[in-house]
Chains A and B, each alone.
Chain A
Amino acid sequence: MSYAYLFKYIIIGDTGVGKSCLLLQFTDKRFQPVHDLTIGVEFGARMITIDGKQVKLQIWDTAGQEAFRSITRSYYRGAAGALLVYDITRRDTFNHLTTWLEDARQHSNSNMVIMLIGNKSDLESRRDVKREEGEAFAREHGLIFMETSAKTAANVEEAFINTAKEIYEKIQEGVFDINNEANGIKLGPQHSPAAAGGMAAGGLGGSQGGGCC
């Protein structure tokens, strides 16, 4: 299926916060109460529409355990967006956000859009991190914030789509160099220079067009 853009995402956060469940909910629209541990990385994709344009999201779901951190790091670089997830019922996962953020900032391109997600919002009775705390953290570090529930699907779509919108806006503003794939953005095959007229300057070179050297 053709698309105008391809965005690469990465999902990061402590183990057990629900990264894989978020992905499953977003790509398959289902919830698995007990999910297999992610060993290394998993992968999912889905098409969304932004501003009337088809955008393909390629999502890398990473293992949360510290031992896998070196793998995770190598995925930052090629990502346009990151979902940084914590579990609102476990404060330690919130406390570790700073480490995750530092790591992400250090290894990603500076324009990567990071969305902070407080997951498991359905477990209000076991809440350990206030919504306001999440908001404050996001404000302080310039992130977008949302509370989601992979179980009830609340805000899951929005989390992925809002991140994509933010990336899209940055493209419109010319912040992202779409010719550099290291930014995690790719133009779709049918996206000719003419069609991308509204794009930022320097947007389209010939190399994407499919001409063979």
Chain B
Amino acid sequence: MAARQEDPGQRRQASPAWARDASTKYLLEFERYFSGGAGSFGALHEQALLRQLAGCGLRSLAWRLFLQVLPVDPASWELLTKEHRRLYSLAKTTYSDYTDVNDTRIRCEVNNPLSHDEQSPWHRLFEHADLRRVIEQDVVRTMPDVALFRDEHVCRCMTDVLFVFMQKHPEVDYVQGMHELLAPIIYLLRREYSNFADVRAAHRANHYMLEKLLKMMDWSSSVNRRREYEEMQRAPPPAPDLLHPPLFAKDRASPSVNQWGPSPCNRAVRRHLCMIDYDLYLKLAELGVEPQVFGLKMFRLLFGREFRLSELCSVWDALLADSHATSTLDLVPYVFCAILIYNRRQILEREGMEALTLLLNLPPLPDIAGCIAFALHIRNPLDYSKPNNFPPPPPVSPRKPAASKIRLRRRSVERSKSAVGQPKSEGGSGSASPARPRSMTQPPPMSAPGRTGLVGLARSGSETVVSRSASATVAAATDLVTYGPPPVAMKDVSALRGKHALLASSEASAYAVMESKQTSTPPEWNPGLTGMPCKVRRAVLRQTLCVETMDRLLQNKEVDLRTLRELVNVQKQLLRDLWPFGGGWSPQPQCPRQPPDGTSDEESAPPSLSTPVPEGVYPPSATADIVEEVTPEDGSAPHSNGLPAVGVSPAYDTLAVDVANLSMSEATEQR
């Protein structure tokens, strides 16, 4: 990744010679990104992900490529564009053609304005008029603070696009918010077109290439932008996973089912946030806020309310570029998580209504590059390193001098060494949730060597030479646990060897954090340093079980493939069960935690939209039997304070040990 970053963006800034001349700039950009030659699209793609397209004058063209409105090869662009424009014009006139109301061949009982017959041309006319009115009513409210959208012509254009789109896609109902997806496209095309028009005036017909560009920019004239929106609507929604049910699909299910597809938000939190920022996850669970309450907007409008318009385009660069290969907006849930994590401190600090108010009105995010980089990183930590200042480091607190912190930590190391094997019932994290899967039962007491397996492995890593693959596993795990500047390039295994000790120390510092929990400052985002050791283990596991790492292991060693698969399955199952909303267990904690002063539980926030599943019921799953095997059956109750106590993360610990033992035996073998 680092190697890729050197590319054009920076070089462009470094060469003022062509930056000075706008027309040359266009030419070079075209040459570099749109020539269709080897690597040009790849370069464009990279630039988009790195937020380097902001200065590009042909950004809308890039979007068209990402959305597959146009193919990568420029040869057919002109032809295709003409065709798009023709089709759009045709559609527009066809759908707005009501001449059949004068058609005398239709029986006049049907063909009259008062007819209730659905076949009546009048019926269609009135329906269309209604739809137009509804759309228009929303369109005039697009982005109140952007002057462009107060323009009558623009509003009419947007209404037309949406109207034609609705006609072309009868399976989709018009839903408020669609116009806000159209807005950035209109904005971008308008801006680029007017910029380009200036250049054209100055350099009329000087270059053959410029002429060619002229034609291309012509696409962004009012006609084609409509087509593009249609394409946009068409292209992303196939995402079967993310947008299921599709963003704006009609509600065909029973009325009890939420038609607006809340699942993406809930899933993003359950699947990703839970693993990336457990404290925040617990906080949300504790607040009782379903992610869809604040997440719906972000998913529906693709962050249109979270960023300023110009910045939004940068975010979309990345979203669209990323979606090119798969035609799914795969990055969206990760950006969603990144936004939450960026605001984590504020969220963790607040209680009840204040927290809710914040969640529903998150402040604009200044660091877009960081946000995108972070989203890419949390999706694929092995390929993308963590950006340095995201989430932002905390302000230095004068109350906690560094020296005492170190002392505390050292003490904790001692403690963790002795206490690894013992369940610990304290650990009152202020943000910890009472939520705890009741369907999970406690494991049988594990032998000390078993319990210390993973930690032991990590510790030994600093002293002993372990196999390359095993060290990669631990390194991957370690990195997740000890995320923090400076980021570690995952591929550099040798550099990582020294990091193994970090696993142990992070576990120790987790104790330290627990001890210092009395202070009201919320923990920093740093999965390994924020909470209880079992959480650390969870994070470790997540990475340990990361399929890619597994693959790596498998490539080098003869590890039992079936065992690994099962472990991964179990992990997935457990994660599913962990989330209190709509998972396999009841959202109500068995024993609600009462705040000491009663102030913090004042509001239970929005009414839950989910249907609680009876306690102890696992969702039907192919892996259910595996869970049975792994989960011990002693049926002991969860902790009374609802917190997963240290070392008592039931199945996780079992798994952790299994995985650790696996890696250890592998390491031994190699030796």
Seen from chain A, the residues whose Cβ lies within 8 Å of a Cβ on chain B are 2, 6, 15-16, 32-37, 39-45, 56, 58, 60, 63, 65, 67-68, 70-71, 74-75, 77-78, 181, 186, 188-189, 208-213
Contact = CB atoms under 8 A, between A and B. Distances in A.
B271 interface: no
User: What band does the interface of chain B fall in when counting residues whose beta carbon is under 8 Å from A?
Assistant: 35 or more
Given A35-B144, A39-B300, A210-B595, A78 B607 contact: yes
Contacts of A15: 137-138, 176
A212 B597 contact: no
Given A70-B258, A189-B599, A58 B607 contact: no
Contacts of A74: 606-607, 609
Q: Which 4 A-B pairs have the closest CB atoms?
A: A210-B598, A189-B598, A34-B144, A40-B296
B362 to A, nearest CB: 12
A189 to B, nearest CB: 4
18 contacts: A15-B138, A16-B141, A37-B138, A37-B141, A43-B360, A45-B357, A65-B175, A67-B174, A67-B251, A68-B176, A70-B255, A74-B606, A181-B604, A186-B602, A189-B598, A209-B598, A210-B598, A213-B592
A45 B353 contact: yes
A186 B609 contact: no
B160 to A, nearest CB: 19
B255 A75 contact: no
Contacts of A213: 591-592, 594
Given A40-B293, A189-B598, A58 B603 contact: yes
B486 interface: no
B126 to A, nearest CB: 14
B137 A211 contact: no
Interface string B290-308: 0011001100110001000
B49 interface: no
Contacts of B173: 67
Contacts, number: 103
A43 B144 CA distance: 19
Nearest to B256: A70
Given A39-B305, A189-B598, 7 more contacts: A35-B144, A40-B300, A43-B356, A43-B357, A67-B174, A75-B607, A213-B591
Contact of B260 (A16, A70, A189): A70
B259 A39 contact: no
Contacts of A181: 604
A40 B297 contact: yes
B598 A67 contact: no
A209 B599 CA distance: 10
Given A15-B176, A45-B357, A6 B259 contact: no
B179 to A, nearest CB: 8
B177 interface: yes
A58 to B, nearest CB: 6
